[in-house]
Structure 1
Amino acid sequence: METPAIPMPKDEGERAILDQLVSIRDHLLLLKRDRTKYIRSQDVMLVYDQVIEQVRQLNEIRKGAESKSENRLDKVLESCFQLLSLFFMTIGRTTEAPAAYALTSTIKRLLDHLTESGLFSAKDLDSMSHTLSTLESVLRNADSQHSPYLVELLAKRENLCKESLEELRKKLDRLAKPLREVHEKLISILRSMSLANTKAKFSVSEVQKLQAQLKDIDASRADGNFVDVEGNVLGGSDEVADLLKRCLLWSEIVLERKGTIPENFKPIYDKLVSIRNDLEKLSITQAWSLRETDLYDYQRELDKFDESRVDGNFQDEDGKLAELYVQRTLLYLIRRSYGYVYYLMISSEPVSEALLPYYNQLQTLKRCLVEVKNSGGVSSVRDLYPYSMKLNSIDNLRVDGKFVVGGDLPEGQGAVNELLAECFDLAYELRIAAEENVAQSD
């Protein structure tokens, strides 16, 4: 599964930089794996400055030189930026330029897969379009502490993503408005069938129900076309009809194979299912269990599988190419996993992991207090004691209005303090309402 060998740099200066970057990358990997203490902003910024210095030296060496193909130095530098980007998310600096690097990598992967398969919905594009607009604002406001080289690199990556996004959107724009809902439905059914196909226990009835929905859509056509109320063929009818045909064919194949993967592709399948399942669990519990730097290992594994394909197809250890069923199943797992990585990145809170326990507790408290308020409040002030005690215990952790962890002031002070204030305000409103109710009853 290793990617093809990347040549070493020929220039002596580049080799020296490569040695430095390999050392920096290894240090970042060790820092990532250390769960005995929180990752500190000053440690990350120190390494970031070291990488930027190596980039400055590299630019000096390559200045005026003819464009060269990538060598091992470029790959290691990419790994350093990818790791640093995830570290910036982990320490809560999610709105700074370096944090955008890993996100643009994942968006580019997703867009490449959507372009390759031609199977995507407006919802897919809307989410990535919104994220890219946010990144554009971040890059536009990138301050002087970040390398112009990095900002320029990110701007190019963002533009590439926007161009891909625009090409995909043009394909959807060809569909008449009434057909877009049908198209969205077909994509949803197709993905649901692929999900059912990769579950530990295959359910025939589940796929048959999805197949029945496809047949209902098929029956709604007139002479094989999608038409409006007046009988006119809708724009994009042929494209949606082709998608429907692909969905029906896939439903037949899935029902025939019942999730059974040939032995020669079982190792790849099992590994991809494991990655998908791990990421799915993280997407449910991410507020409490995710350290964003953990995503690096998942991304690296996914990238290796993705880049090992030959002309878009998978092959086993003997070089035998995968048949259609296996090919589509493995691609679904890769794409689904990249989707989870993307979701986990955009869900990253602007709070350091050192403050996340307080932040998450306050978010839970806020939800509870809002629920109590919406359901009519409390009957007495005593009912608020558990909430007040928890709020005060968190408030008492502050020193001069700030949360100090291990002598440090972690990122995200403003976000946690704002949430704490909101919770106190809600508790106060509920207390006043309870006191008024008691006074009126007296």
Structure 2
Amino acid sequence: MTDSPAYRLPLDPQEQPILDRLLNIRDHLSILKQDRTSYVKSQDVMKHYEAVIEQVQALNKIRENKRNEQNRVDTVLDDCFQLISLFFLTIGRNSEAPAVYSAISTVKRLLDHLKEAGFYSSKDLESVGHHIQDWQESVERGKDSHTADLLTLLDARIEVCKSTLKELHDQLSRLDPEMMGRHEKLVSILRSLSACNCRSKFPTKEVNDFEQQVNQIREEMHAETITYDGKSAEETYAAKLSNLSLSEGDVRDGREVVLALLARCTLWIDIIREKQGKIDPKFQDTYDKLLKIRNTLEQMNLTQAWSLRETDLYSFQRQLDRVDEARVNGNFLDVTGQPADLHAQRTLLYLLRKSYAFIYQYIISSEPVSEALLPIYNQLLTLKRCLQEVKRSGGVDSPRELYPYSMKLNSVDNMKKDGKFMVGNDIPEGQASVTALLDECFELAYELRSEADERSEKKDEVETNGVASKAVEA
């Protein structure tokens, strides 16, 4: 069981029974998560959700006069809510308030890391802002169906994310369109360089190509060449970072922001060239752990739609949380308590942020469909993409070419019983989404068939007129 970092504060004896019940609930949720013999049912999730809410209400009564208390009860409670939130995604109840919990927790860390890293694109912020708004609406809709204890917690976390998001937006507010284009390009280059830095074999040619792109932007901006003044590249980079540290209300000129990012790209190239992908041995274990998590999450991207159960993300979240929360003042420390050098710090932060970014991407791309219906839903998604591609490429010459698609659509439609997609005697969540997608596919097939019929009729008319003309000439 991957647990959250545990608080060491003494536990109120009154809270011990609550902790015991929460541990029991978490164990049951973990067993349910690991069981792949059948799909997760809504009633199973709701049973555990209601049991957790009971413990929250009991805890609130005990802490009526000590609201800021934090101990192991809170970490285990967070585990339970994280699991339940991911289970809500698994059963297709994405738009309900409990499903928001895990998403907001992930975005909170992601925004903190973007702020700490000191570089990000406007597209990053637009995506997060859009989804935060959706989650806010989910919480507001849940006022009549979910306890105020959970909704108040979610509201508070959303407000924290919105505040950080505004601060990050403000830093880009003075970039005109030309500067924004250069800024986006440099963000992309710096991320690509960080990815190169984590390769098993250092890609010298790619790094040289990125350096040429950076130099081109420097020439366009008539920027000065970086001088080290007797300092190392790492020392110069650290000085640039300290000048870039974001503080509330501190909004820089757009050109200044881009020039600082340009300098960071140049310095980072020199640093990773010197290191050649080698990290300080004292942080090798942490590096290997984060690299493995990043690589596993990246590989999941290839099979996500077909095999990912959202609760699979829980163990990755918890492993990353442990690494993140073990830092002191943002620093990764070795076994003796000494902070890592700049290269190790930035490399480990990149892997941490990238891993959270993958988890965020998987959460927001979760379909509002129970895993029981996902095989059907994914088949229909594939059919829809195929039909759209056929339409984009000019359609078909004959309705007969659509037979394979029509047969598949009819076979899916015939799976319904009384208008519902059933699994045994159960009616899984996501019926409306699957039905709507099926209707879209039928509509696309109908449009293609109609276009093919029109082409066929026109062809017959041309051939008939041609025969008639030859007869008259004869």
TM range (shorter): over 0.9
Q: How does 1:184-263 map to 2 (within 5 A)?
A: 184-222=184-222, 224=224, 235-263=253-281
- The yes-or-no answer on 1:49 pairing with 2:45 is no
Q: Deviations over 1:310-335 (max 9, x none)?
A: 33222233444321111111111110
Which stretch of structure 1 is more off in the superposition, 329-338 or 425-434? Answer: 425-434
Structure 1 residues 9-18 or 40-49, which shifts more?
9-18
Q: Does structure 1 residue 139 correspond to structure 2 residue 142?
A: no
Say if 1:9 and 1:73, in contact at 8 Å, map to a contact too.
no
**1:426 has 2:452 as partner:** no
Contact 2:4–2:321 under 8 Å retained in 1: no
Letter in 2 for 1:178: E
The reply on whether 1:414 has 2:415 as its aligned counterpart is no
Which amino acid is the alignment partner of residue 201 of structure 1?
K
1:239–1:377 distance in 2 versus 1, CA, 3 Å: closer
1:87-236 to 2 correspondences below 5 Å:
87-222=87-222, 224=224, 235-236=253-254
Q: What code does the residue aligned with 1:43 have?
A: D
1:25-50 CA deviation, whole Å, 9 max, x = no partner? 11101111111110111110111111
1:380/1:28 Cα in 2 relative to 1: closer, same or farther (>3 Å)? Answer: same
Identity between Structure 1 and Structure 2 (%): 54
State the secondary structure of the residue aligned to 1:193.
helix
Corresponding residue to 2:363 among 345, 350, 360? 345
| Partners of 1:169 and 1:441 in 2: CA distance | 58
Code of the residue aligned with 2:199 in structure 1: it is K
1:357 aligned onto 2:375: yes
Name the CA shift for 1:9/1:84 in 2 (closer, same or farther; >3 Å). Answer: farther
The 1:427/1:178 distance shift into structure 2, 3 A limit, reads closer
| Alpha-carbon separation, structure 2, partners of 1:409 and 1:256 | 60
Write the letter of the residue equivalent to 1:90.
T
- 1:139 aligned counterpart, secondary structure: helix
- For 1:132 and 1:66, locate their aligned partners in 2 and report how far apart those are by CA, in whole Å: 30
Deviates more, 1:387-396 or 1:345-354: 387-396
Is contact 2:63-2:69 (8 Å) kept? no
Aligned to 1:285: 303
Assess if the C-alpha contact under 8 Å between 2:103 and 2:360 holds in 1.
Answer: yes
Range that drifts further, 43-52 or 6-15? 6-15
Is the deviation greater in 122-131 or in 91-100? Answer: 122-131
8 Å Cα contact 2:6-2:71 kept in structure 1: no
Tell me which residue corresponds to 1:85. Answer: 85
Gaps of at least 5 residues in structure 1 are 226-233
CA deviation profile, 1:231-286 (whole Å, cap 9, x unmatched)? xxx93333322222121110011112221223332222122111111111222321
Aligned equivalent of 2:332 = 314
1:374 aligned to which of 383, 386, 392: 392
Verify the 8 A CA contact 2:175 2:253 in the aligned structure 1.
yes
Q: Is the 8 A contact 1:3 1:307 kept in 2?
A: no
Quote the offset at 1:376 in angstroms.
Answer: 2.3
Q: Shift of residue 177 of structure 1?
A: 4.3
Question: Which range moves more in the overlay, 195-204 or 103-112?
Answer: 195-204
Equivalents in 2 of 1:183, 1:430: separation in Å?
44
Q: Which has the larger radius of gyration?
A: 2
Query: TM-score under structure 1 normalisation?
Result: 0.93
Do 2:332 and 2:339's aligned partners in 1 also have CA atoms closer than 8 Å?
A: yes
Q: Distance in 2 between matches of 1:66 and 1:3?
A: 22
Give the whole-Å Cα distance in 2 for the aligned partners of 1:206 and 1:21.
51
SS in 2 for 1:173: coil
Q: CA deviation at 1:67?
A: 3.4
| 10-19 or 401-410, larger mean C-alpha shift | 10-19
Partners of 1:362 and 1:419 within 8 A in 2:
yes
For the 8 Å contact 1:384–1:431, the answer to whether it is kept is: yes
**CA pair 2-92 structure 1, distance change in 2 beyond 3 A:** closer
Q: 1:304 corresponds to which letter in structure 2?
A: R
Shift of residue 90, structure 1, vs aligned partner: 0.6
| TM-superposed deviation, 1:3 | 6.9
* 1:4 to partner: Cα distance: 5.9
TM-score (norm 2): 0.87
Using a 3 Å threshold, how does the CA distance of structure 1 residues 326 and 7 change in structure 2: closer, same or farther? closer
Q: Indicate how the Cα distance of structure 1 residues 178 and 371 shifts in structure 2: closer, same or farther if over 3 A, else same.
A: closer
CA distance in 1, matches of 2:290, 2:18: 35
Whether the aligned pair in 1 keeps the contact of 2:186 and 2:262 (CA below 8 Å) is yes
- Partner Cα separation in structure 2 for residue 87 and residue 196 of structure 1: 36
SS of corresponding position for 2:144: coil
Equivalent-residue separation in structure 2 for 1:131 and 1:248 (angstroms): 34
Q: Secondary structure at the match of 1:142?
A: helix
Which residue does the alignment assign to 1:229?
A: none
Query: RMSD over aligned Cα, in angstroms?
Result: 2.0
Q: Hey, what's the Cα distance between the residues in 2 that align with 1:250 and 1:2?
A: 35
Distance between the aligned counterparts of 2:281 and 2:129, measured in 1? 40
- Aligned mate of 1:403, from 421, 428, 432: 421
The CA distance in 2 between the partners of 1:9 and 1:424, in whole Å, is 62
Paired with 2:26 and 2:223, the residues of 1 have a C-alpha distance of 61
**What is the CA deviation profile of residues 191-238 of structure 1, one whole-angstrom value per residue up to 9, with x for unaligned ones?**
01001111233210101111111111222234649xxxxxxxx93333
> Would the aligned equivalents of 2:143 and 2:151 in 1 still touch at CA under 8 Å?
no
AA of the residue aligned to 1:282? M
- Go from structure 1 to structure 2 and tell me whether the alpha carbon gap of 1:2 and 1:378 turns closer, same or farther (over 3 Å shift): closer
3-state SS, counterpart of residue 102 of structure 1: helix
What SS is found at the alignment partner of 1:313?
Answer: coil
Q: Which residue of 2 aligns with 1:24?
A: 25
Q: Secondary structure at the match of 1:89?
A: helix
- Structure 1: distance between partners of 2:218 and 2:142: 51
Q: Give the partner amino acid of 2:8.
A: P
Show structure 2 runs of 5+ residues with no match: 226-251, 461-474
Q: 1:188 to 1:144 in 2, by over 3 A?
A: same
Structure 1 residues 173 and 222: alpha-carbon distance in aligned structure 2, compared to 1, 3 A threshold: same
